[in-house]
Chain A
Amino acid sequence: MVREMVMVQVGQCGNQIGRRFWLELVQEAASQVQGGFDAAMSALFRNVDARYEPAIELDVGSLLASLRARAILVDTEEGVVSETRRHPILGDLFEETQVITDVGGAGNNWASGYASYGPKLQLRVEAALRKAVEACDSPQAFFLVYSVGGGTGSGLGSSVLELLRDMYPDLCRFNVAVYPSADYEDVITGPYNAVLATKWLTEASDCVIPLENSALLDYRARQAGLGASQLPDGIDTGFDGINDVIAQLLSHLTAGARYPGGLNMDFNEITTNLVPFQRLHYLTASFSPLLRCNRSNLNLDKREHRIFLEACATTSKLVTTYAKTSQTSSNRALACAVFARGKVASANLIHASNCLRPSLKLPQWNPDGLKMGLCRVPPLGASSAVLCLKNSPAIAQNFDTLKNRFNKLYQVKAMLHHYTQIVDSTVFEDAINDLEGVIECYKNADLNAPNFHV
């Protein structure tokens, strides 16, 4: 009995990330496979006999026939998804029924994605989800990957998230959301889309990991600066590098549920331990080692410890937080989880966690809030890796910046007519109030004020 997960990729960004993710997974499975379709592969793949129509499902333990990914690809235009399906390795992973595309695109307009394409594609999305869930023995969680700055990802993604909440309220919905960076704007209506999508993320999602392009680029630059080798398939075209990082993050997150280890960390345990209050579920992720650079000259213990500290350092974060400039919210966390993969001894993990604990400044009501997980199987390209997830009030800074950018546009009602043609302007009011509420809650949580929970 395996825990299966279903991945839902929405929009251009989501599908590009998904492409790197499935590549990573296929390579990982290839390096781990011991001669058959085992339980770990079954978590994210299906094994089918494609000679028949419809294909016959094969159980865990059978020989590998054709693999199909447990994924739904959704987009409002065909280009990106077609490119995935034409890929030499990935093309076979996705069946017709898993792909939902339309023509026209959402035009960087959240309202178009949510209110126009949402209802239009709803039946097809429902059918695809139902089929994916029925193919699972015991589905554990949904992963949604999309960017919130555009139109399809944010709008249609919000609609799909809401649909999942209504169809399967008991299954965990985990989001990886790519937020528009603060220092440059590539989409003018980005703040509108992001704030609107954030309201849906707060309400309908169980856990969100926000990511930012500028932080990811920094991370990637550090990787390159340290002499990182090329990506496995030799292609490094712009976004591919940072999508690779996100793919590693997702693979690391799901590794605990797929592979065995000394301290099993099942997927739902992340939510239970890291989300103390329902609306405060935004996690900051940071990663180490900067993968794909093997520094095998350091001795093992020291290396592990270093990996650990690197992982939890501010500089390794995948979302920029303005922790250094603010007085109140520092590097503290409401709850933290550390997840190690590879040849890490449990005693070393415990010891390193205890070294980390003082800097986290866990609140007085959550002194045990450091969760540890250990998985035996190392990631591709490194002998061990550590992922650190923190529920940190510093994320309120990011939301504050987003709120300011939103207000700059909203006060002069710029670009608003594109949205009000489709949805009511009260949606904007609700969304910004909701965001302000979340910022307030996080700030109060940081100051340990009583009754800050909602």
Chain B
Amino acid sequence: MPASCVTVQIGQCGTQLGACVLDRLNAEARHEADAAYFFRQGKSGERVARAVLVDTEPRVVGEVEGGDRDGCRWVYGAANRVLCDAGLRGCANNWAKGFSSEKEGVNRAADVVRREMERSDRVDALLSFAAGAGGTGSGLGCAFHSCFSDDNPKIRPLHCVVLPDRQGDVAVGSYNATLTLNHLSKDAKRRGGGLCLLSNELSKQMCTNVFRIDRPTFDQLNDVFATLLAGNLLPYAIEGQRKGLGYTLSHCCAGRLRYVTPYAAPLYERAQNAAFDQNLWPGVCGELTRRAKLLAEPILRADEKPPLDRPPPARAWVCAGLVVGRGADATQMEESRFARDIRIPKGAPGLKFGTSQNACRTAPRSCYFLANSSSVLPILRHVESRCSAMLEYRAYVHHYERYGTTAEDLEKALASLRAQIADYDGLAPVPEPPVAAMASLSLPPPPPR
């Protein structure tokens, strides 16, 4: 029975990001079998996204439409836009206000999702998009997920949460982020799913360095996320068996380590460059591992060399991951390069490799990697430091106490975040001796003939 995945987009950011990702999925999934995972057939033959939009105000949810790429249209289902009242006022950037909002709205949203699920044969995953630092996506999103997961404990969620990892623009953003991460990671653990943290700063860096866009708009930032995520979300095959997001999550997320990071290669500066792509699998995999093996990606331009006086960036430890190669000759993808470059602690589940014969729209050979790696540490550490600085002075706490979230709740959420950081730190058992750093600069051995 073919499986499918339902998407939920909560709040302004979640709606816009989700629309972008679905648009990219529509463009990439040229074969109906792939598209059926995220879309279903509409009455006039267009694709209808298996997606539900949830917000507390009608402006953004009303404005976002489906898309049209290469003649393949997709739309949102007619009844799939849900407006929650949230106590008759917006969420005011306040997690507590969103979380304690009227149960009626949240139940309505869960109903709509349930009806969407009934239109598919079998749903094995739930993809959700929200911003973690705002009020609606974070607070109302958590309320929705706790309501939904009570009724559907078997469906694995992938919560894509957008967070600032450097300068944020919401003063209480770190409180909202801490509470969201705490809540969603518990939810993911209960249901066997995971969280994907998307950072605006990273996207901005990629825009500047890779795509050469100096002042990216929000659409362009969302496009970067879409590029990284789309290839990771579409179905693939392992040893002839079709697998989807549900399997990915079951492999990548284990125990207390629930965060995944998406990587994609190749990334072209302009879409036209793809026509001249001569990359073979070693090149594509090499580009991917170059990004994935580092903790904090200093994405440099193609012609830029790292300055000599800077110490080599720390290496990331990957405890589990799924690599998918998409292309006509995907079975020839090199797995040994991953074994060489990606560090895996002993006893960890390690990497699994999947292939898909359907090539990506932009490149004849492309490779995607969804890694449960310690590269989430910079974002988590940033959120933790901001939150504890504010909580020490009890700044803004009275806004949360008004809606039932006390300073103790914040302390508990912060403590659990610190525990997660410690877990990921524990992936790297001993500090890296300088000899190993030198070894990483040496040339890899030539591939066996």
Give A367 to B83 CA distance when docked, in angstroms. 33
Q: A268-B89, A347-B216, A365-B389 are in contact. Are A370 and B169 (CB under 8 A)?
A: yes
Chain B interface category by residue count: 35 or more
Kindly list chain A residues whose C-beta atoms are within 8 Å of the C-beta of B92.
Answer: 266, 268-269, 271-272
Contact indicator A347/B217 (Cβ below 8 Å): yes
Known: A347-B216, A351-B215. A368 touches B93 (CB 8 A): no
Q: Is A140 a contact of B394 with CB atoms below 8 Å?
A: no
Q: Say yes or no for A335: interface residue by CB 8 A criterion.
A: yes
Q: Which of A81-89, A215-223, A273-281 contacts B (4 or more CB under 8 A)?
A: A273-281
For residue A368, which residue of chain B has the nearest CB? B168
Query: Which of B19-27, B114-122, B170-178, B295-303 lies at the interface?
Result: B170-178
Among B63, B170, B218, B392, the residue within 8 A (CB) of A273 is: B170
CB distance from A368 to the nearest CB of B (A): 4
Most chain A Cβ neighbours within 10 Å, of B171, B215, B389: B171
Which of B246-254, B352-360, B361-369, B395-403 is the contact stretch?
Answer: B395-403
B169 near A368 with CB under 8 A, answer: yes
Of listed B90, B164, B216, residue having the most chain A CB within 10 A: B90
Given contacts A273-B171, A368-B173, contact A1 B389 (CB under 8 A): no
> A139 to B89, alpha carbons, bound, how many Å?
7
CB pair B393 A272 closer than 8 Å: no
CB distance from A338 to the nearest CB of B (A): 9
Give Cα A371–Cα B83 distance, bound, in whole angstroms.
25
What is the CB-to-nearest-CB distance from B388 to chain A, in angstroms, rounded to a whole number?
Answer: 9
Shortest Cβ gap from B207 to chain A (Å):
10
Residues of A within 8 A of B93 (CB): 269, 272-273
B393–A450 contact, CB under 8 A?
yes
User: Cβ of B392: which chain A residues have Cβ within 8 Å of it?
Assistant: 365, 450
- CB B366 to nearest CB in A, in angstroms, measures 29
The yes or no answer to A369 lying at the interface (CB within 8 A) is: yes
Set of chain B residues within 8 Å of A268, measured between Cβ atoms: 89-90, 92, 94
CB distance from A254 to the nearest CB of B (A): 14
Question: A449's closest neighbor in chain B, by CB?
Answer: B393
Q: How far is the CA of A419 from the CA of B63 in the complex (A)?
A: 57
Flag whether A260 is at the interface (Cβ < 8 A).
Answer: yes
Separation in Å of the A201 CB from the closest CB of chain B?
17
> Is A343 on the interface with B (CB-CB < 8 A)?
no
B346 on the A face (CB < 8 A): no
Interface centre among A138, A140, A370 (most CB of B within 10 A): A138
Q: Which of A352-382 contact B (CB under 8 A)?
A: 353-354, 357, 364-372
Q: Report the separation of the CA atoms of residues A367 and B171 in the bound assembly, to the nearest whole angstrom.
A: 8
Could you tell me if A365 and B393 are in contact, using CB atoms closer than 8 angstroms?
Answer: yes
CA distance A273 to B91 in the complex (A): 12
Tell yes or no: A262 within 8 A of B by CB.
yes
Chain B min CB distance to A107 (Å): 38
A353 to chain B: which residues have CB within 8 Å? 169
The reply to whether the CB of B305 lies closer than 8 angstroms to some CB of chain A is no
Evaluate whether A138 and B395 lie within 8 angstroms (CB atoms) in the complex, with A264-B59, A266-B92, A348-B215 already known.
Answer: no
Nearest first, the 5 A-B pairs at minimum CB distance are A268-B92, A347-B215, A368-B168, A138-B88, A276-B395
17 interchain pairs, CB-CB under 8 A:
A1-B85, A138-B88, A260-B59, A262-B218, A264-B12, A264-B57, A271-B92, A272-B399, A273-B170, A273-B172, A345-B217, A347-B215, A347-B217, A365-B389, A365-B393, A368-B167, A453-B394
